[in-house]
Amino acid sequence: MITSLSIKNYALIEKLSIDFSKGFSIITGETGAGKSIILGALGLIQGKRADLSSLKNKEEKCVIEAHFDISKYKLKSFFKENDIDYENDTIIRREILPSGKSRAFINDSPVNLQLLQELSLFLIDIHSQQQTRELSDETVQFDIIDAIAKNQEPIHLFQTALSLYKSDKSKLNVLLKRQSEAIKEQEYQTFLWNELVEANLKSGEQEILEEEFEKLNNVEIIKESLDRSLAIANEEQIGVMHNLKEIKTTLQKIGGYAPDYGSLLERISSLVIEFDDVTEELDRCSDKLINDPEQLELINQKLQLIYNLQKKHQVDTVDGLIEIQTSLEQSISELSNLKSDIDKLTLAIKDRAVTLDEIATTIYDNRIVAIPLLSDKLITILDTLGMPNVRFDIQLIPSEAYLPNGKDELQFLFAANKGTDFGLLRKVASGGEMSRIMLAVKAILADYSKLPTLIFDEIDTGVSGEIAIKMGEIMKDMSKTMQIFAITHLPQIAAKGNVHFKVFKSTVGDDTQSELKLLSNEERIVEIAQMLSGTVVSDSALNHAKALLN
- pLDDT tens digit sequence for 484-523: 999 998 999 999 999 999 998 888 777 888 888 999 999 9
Output 101 or 256, whichever has higher pLDDT. 101
DSSP state of 55: B
Q: Let me know if residue 396 belongs to a domain.
A: no
Round to whole Å and give the CA distance between 94 and 53: 15
Residues of the domain holding 469: 1-123+452-519
Which of 158-172, 335-349, 468-482 bottoms out in mean pLDDT, i.e. has the lowest?
A: 335-349
Q: Let me know if residue 483 belongs to a domain.
A: yes
- pLDDT tens digit sequence for 331-384: 766 666 788 889 999 999 999 999 999 999 999 999 999 999 999 999 999 998
State the pLDDT confidence band at 428, using cuts at 50, 70 and 90.
confident
For residue 142, what pLDDT is reported? 92
Mark whether 118 and 227 lie in a shared domain: no
Mark whether 203 and 56 lie in a shared domain: no
Provide mean pLDDT across the span 319-335. Answer: 78
Mark whether 183 and 331 lie in a shared domain: yes
| CB distance 92 to 68 below 8 Å | yes
- pLDDT tens digit sequence for 386-414: 889 999 999 999 999 999 999 999 988 99
Domain boundary among 269, 302, 336: 336
Round to whole Å and give the CA distance between 444 and 149: 12
Total domains in the fold of the chain? 2
Round to whole Å and give the CA distance between 125 and 367: 24
Using alpha carbons only, what angle is made at residue 344 by residues 339 and 347, rounded to the nearest 5 degrees? 125
- Amino acid at position 545, single letter: A
Q: What is the sign of the dihedral through the CA atoms of 172, 174, 177 and 183?
A: negative
Q: Let me know if residue 464 belongs to a domain.
A: yes
Asked if pLDDT for residue 56 goes beyond 90, the answer is no
Q: What are phi and psi of 375, to 5 degrees?
A: -60, -45
Output 228 or 101, whichever has higher pLDDT. 101
Provide mean pLDDT across the span 133-147. Answer: 86
Which pairs count as long-range contacts for 184-191, CB under 8 Å and 24+ apart, including other chains? 185/331, 186/332, 186/335, 189/328, 189/331, 189/332, 190/332
Asked if pLDDT for residue 210 goes beyond 80, the answer is no
Provide mean pLDDT across the span 454-482. Answer: 86
Mark whether 187 and 304 lie in a shared domain: yes
Provide mean pLDDT across the span 14-29. Answer: 91
| CB distance 364 to 356 below 8 Å | no
Mark whether 88 and 211 lie in a shared domain: no
Mark whether 202 and 300 lie in a shared domain: yes
Q: Let me know if residue 193 belongs to a domain.
A: yes
- pLDDT tens digit sequence for 524-539: 999 999 988 887 888 8
State the pLDDT confidence band at 244, using cuts at 50, 70 and 90.
confident
Q: What are the CA-CA distances from residue 242 to residues 235, 248, 278, 457 (Å)?
A: 7, 10, 14, 128
For residue 334, what pLDDT is reported? 66
Q: Let me know if residue 359 belongs to a domain.
A: no
For residue 348, what pLDDT is reported? 93
Strands in 228-375 per DSSP E? none
Round to whole Å and give the CA distance between 472 and 468: 6
Q: Let me know if residue 480 belongs to a domain.
A: yes
Report the predicted TM-score, pTM, of the whole model to 2 decimal places.
0.66
Mark whether 118 and 189 lie in a shared domain: no
Mark whether 325 and 200 lie in a shared domain: yes
Helix (H, G, I), strand (E, B) or coil at 296: helix
Sheet holding 62-69, edge to edge: 13-19, 2-10, 62-69, 89-96, 102-106, 109-111
Q: Give 244's Cβ-side CA count (13 Å radius).
A: 18
Neighbours of 423 (CB within 10 A): 14
Domain boundary among 318, 336, 354: 336
Domain boundary among 267, 302, 336: 336
Q: Let me know if residue 217 belongs to a domain.
A: yes
Which of 120-134, 136-150, 519-533 bottoms out in mean pLDDT, i.e. has the lowest?
A: 120-134
Q: Let me know if residue 11 belongs to a domain.
A: yes
For residue 130, what pLDDT is reported? 67
For residue 186, what pLDDT is reported? 65
CATH assignment at residue 58? 3.40.50.300
* Nearest alpha carbon to residue 481 among 459, 439, 453, 460: 453
For residue 386, what pLDDT is reported? 87
Mark whether 207 and 104 lie in a shared domain: no
For residue 220, what pLDDT is reported? 74
- Amino acid at position 317, single letter: T
Mark whether 114 and 183 lie in a shared domain: no
Mark whether 199 and 112 lie in a shared domain: no
Mark whether 115 and 238 lie in a shared domain: no
Which of 212-221, 458-467, 525-534 bottoms out in mean pLDDT, i.e. has the lowest?
A: 212-221
Question: Residues 6 or more apart from 515 whose CB is under 8 A from it?
Answer: 13, 16, 34, 503, 504, 505, 506
* Nearest alpha carbon to residue 135 among 144, 146, 148: 144
In whole angstroms, how large is the CA radius of gyration of the chain?
Answer: 49
For residue 335, what pLDDT is reported? 67
Q: Are strands 499-508 and 511-518 parallel, antiparallel or unpaired?
A: antiparallel
Using alpha carbons only, what angle is made at residue 489 by residues 484 and 492, rounded to the nearest 5 degrees? 75
Q: What are phi and psi of 399, to 5 degrees?
A: -125, 155
Round to whole Å and give the CA distance between 547 and 550: 5
